[in-house]
Amino acid sequence: MERTLAIIKPDAVQNGHAGKILDRILAEGFAVRAMKLVTLTQAQAEGFYAVHAERPFFGELTEFMASGPCVPLVLEREDAVSTWREVIGATNPADAAEGTIRKQFATSVGENAVHGSDSAENGVKEGRYFFPESEIV
């Protein structure tokens, strides 16, 4: 069974959408293997998004990710990575398909409600970034 790392980002938590997004996660057949509410430090946000360090939006992105509580989750189901990316929709909510989480809840390309890993390998790696093995059930 495949795992992916989802994050309900600070905008969605702040706007009161975390419960609805969790409902959607369960309705899509994902099992939650780990979950917590945490406010990232700037350094933790920069570490998580290190791959984007050279991008012009890196400062904006990491400040946003450290701006308030977020909810990282390890999700498991068959084809977890591609299924979750379909459910969340395109990075920019203006391009996101009807019925996707970003279409429904994202406010901008930067503040786009949720994260999803882009490969099974990164799903495992990103899960470990937030949770020790003992906290993934």
Residue pair 93/107 in contact by the 8 Å Cβ criterion: yes
* Residue 73: DSSP 8-state: E
Instruction: Supply 2's token pair.
Output: 């495949």
Contact of 70 with 13, CB cutoff 8 Å: yes
**Any idea which residues carry the catalytic annotation?**
115
Q: Select the residue interacting with ligand ATP from 60, 79, 95, 135 (CB under 6 A).
A: 60
By CB under 6 A, tell whether 83 contacts ligand ATP.
Answer: no
Give the C-alpha separation, 67 to 61, whole Å: 10
Query: Nearer Cβ to ligand ATP, position 76 or 111?
Result: 111
* Contact positions with ligand ATP (CB under 6 A) in 6-45: none
Q: What distance in Å separates the CA atoms of residue 83 and residue 77, rounded to the nearest whole number?
A: 9
Q: Which is nearer to ligand ATP, 119 or 137 (CB)?
A: 119
x/- mask, ligand ATP, residues 88-107, rule CB under 6 A, reads ---x----------------
Instruction: Tell whether residue 57 is among the known ligand binding residues.
Output: yes
